[in-house]
Structure 1
Amino acid sequence: MTFDDRVALVTGAGSGIGRAMAVAFAKAGARVVVCDIDAGTAGDVAREIGDAAVAATADIGDASSVEALVGTAISTYGRIDVLCNNAGIMDTMALPADIPLDQWERVLRVNLTGTFLVTHAVLPHLLGQGGGAIVNTASEAGIRGGAAGAAYTASKHGVVGLTKSVAWAYAKDGIRCNAILPGPTMTNIANGASFDPAGAARLGPVLALGERLAQPEQMADAALYLASDAASFINGAIVPVDGGWSAA
């Protein structure tokens, strides 16, 4: 699985799964656009990778910010071959009756609309060069009702649907779009979160099924495969990377 002469754009790449993806693609020979809303962490990862990476800052929920991000990628490397839509935020595990509207709108804006905005901005470049690969980071909450709160669950179900729509729409154009569904993974996505007590109690039994924690690198390996030529006939796949949690 080599990516020599290819360019990978990874969002949410300042930490966790995104950082692991950026490092993995660079090790496989790609040049990497390390995107994060936090300029400091994006810069740290780009420096860690070295000459094969450039840092970029973007709020993926903002269309103008996304356009600037894609512009940076094109002006720096001239093309985008792989897009990893990884950036996302958690909710507070609030149940549908309890979630504040502003939390609902923010989670949907980042996780679903943000994924759409970056995809929408990158697709013309993939079409223009005759193909490419998109790997979306969905979640176990994209196929379950009890793995997260209402907002996060709805957003990740939406990412699953968007993945299938893009895969179907552009299959004849050489563009593949797949998604990974991480199970519990050692990241900082929930750092500092204050969880809704009623929601956390209701979701607890389901969350306990996924008690094994994965490393971010295990998610990155799955993304690397789906973006590679080894997966050239895999399109529209929704792939659990959860140690068997979804099989329960």
Structure 2
Amino acid sequence: MSTQRFAGKVMVVTGAAQGIGRAVALRAAAEGSKVLFVDRAEFVSEVAAEAGGEETAGFVADLETYEGAASAMTFAVRKFGGVDILINGVGGAIRMRPFADFEPEQIDAEIRRSLMPTLYACHAVLPHLLKRGGGTIVNVSSNATRGIRRGPYSAAKGGVNAITQSLAMEYAEHNIRVVATAPGGTDAPPRRIPRNATGDSEQEKLWMGDAVKQVTESTFFKRYGSIDEQAAPILFLASDEASYITGTVLPVAGGDTG
């Protein structure tokens, strides 16, 4: 495997301040890509600076709005001259509880968090990929499309899978590949910004424990994956090594296909 798979490429990574997105963006930069780290967390520029050099930049945007997604793509074009690869890494369950216990506004919030940023970013980047004559979109979905205590999140990620396959079919004639990974449970450092800003009640912690048990027992390995085990397949799919793969949602969950 070439250690400079992304030399000459421009990559936009959303959700790049923490977790899987951060690992993907830093590794892409190490493999030669110009990378725009996008996140609504103000410290995203600090993360981008970890890569060193002048070939990376941080950009603060709320990708739950279309304006945020469009502004990120516009900035990438202005900064680096175009976009070749988009990694959609924004998402994550805000709450875990039985579906009957979700309140309507909580359902809406889960969809805004885990579906709309991918929809918006895909739409915003397509004109730039078309102008470039091709490119790649990698969506980070989830194997939680089959899981407990996360019904609205599961529905959002099912939508991510659907838009992946739909766009892959529609834009193949334009030399644009659209693929996804479906991570399972992933060990990650403590988040600097929590997924649920209001905190979890004692009951919600118990419900989360139910989900953690289900996710762990559903894998063949009976363990969570690592950040590196998630970043590697994302970057493979983003690279020219995967040039004949499109429309695929790749489970990365220790045998649990979701």
Both structures adopt the same fold (TM-score exceeding 0.5):
yes
Change (3 A) 1:243 1:204: closer
Matched, 1:113 2:116: yes
Matched, 1:78 2:81: yes
Matches within 5 A, 1:1-248: 1=2, 2-40=5-43, 42-51=44-53, 52-142=55-145, 144=146, 146-187=147-188, 188=190, 194=200, 196=204, 199-200=207-208, 203=211, 205-209=213-217, 210=219, 211-246=222-257
Count of aligned positions = 244
Using the aligned pairs only, state the percent identity: 34
Distance in 2 between residues matched to 1:102 and 1:89, nearest whole Å? 16
Distance in 2 between residues matched to 1:198 and 1:102, nearest whole Å? 22
Secondary structure of the equivalent of 1:245?
coil
Secondary structure of the equivalent of 2:82?
coil
Mapped contact 2:59–2:72 kept (Cα < 8 A): yes
Secondary structure of the equivalent of 2:257?
helix
Letter in 1 for 2:20: I
Mapped contact 1:133–1:175 kept (Cα < 8 A): yes
- Return the TM-score normalized by structure 2: 0.88
Mapped contact 1:140–1:147 kept (Cα < 8 A): no
Mapped contact 2:99–2:149 kept (Cα < 8 A): no
Post-superposition CA distance 1:191-241 (Å, at most 9, x none): 665263674466465223144122212211101110111110100111011
Mapped contact 1:20–1:216 kept (Cα < 8 A): yes
Secondary structure of the equivalent of 2:63?
coil
Letter in 2 for 1:235: T
Distance in 1 between residues matched to 2:212 and 2:13, nearest whole Å? 31
Mapped contact 1:186–1:216 kept (Cα < 8 A): yes
Distance in 2 between residues matched to 1:226 and 1:204, nearest whole Å? 27
- Return the TM-score normalized by structure 1: 0.91
Offset at residue 186 of structure 1 (A): 1.6
Mapped contact 1:186–1:214 kept (Cα < 8 A): yes
Q: Which runs of 5+ in 1 are unaligned?
A: none
Query: Alignment RMSD, CA only?
Result: 1.9
Secondary structure of the equivalent of 2:76?
helix
Offset at residue 159 of structure 1 (A): 0.6
Secondary structure of the equivalent of 2:101?
coil
Secondary structure of the equivalent of 1:13?
coil
Mapped contact 1:33–1:53 kept (Cα < 8 A): yes
Offset at residue 156 of structure 1 (A): 0.7
Distance in 1 between residues matched to 2:236 and 2:208, nearest whole Å? 34
Distance in 1 between residues matched to 2:234 and 2:214, nearest whole Å? 25
Mapped contact 2:183–2:252 kept (Cα < 8 A): yes
Letter in 2 for 1:179: A
Distance in 2 between residues matched to 1:241 and 1:147, nearest whole Å? 18
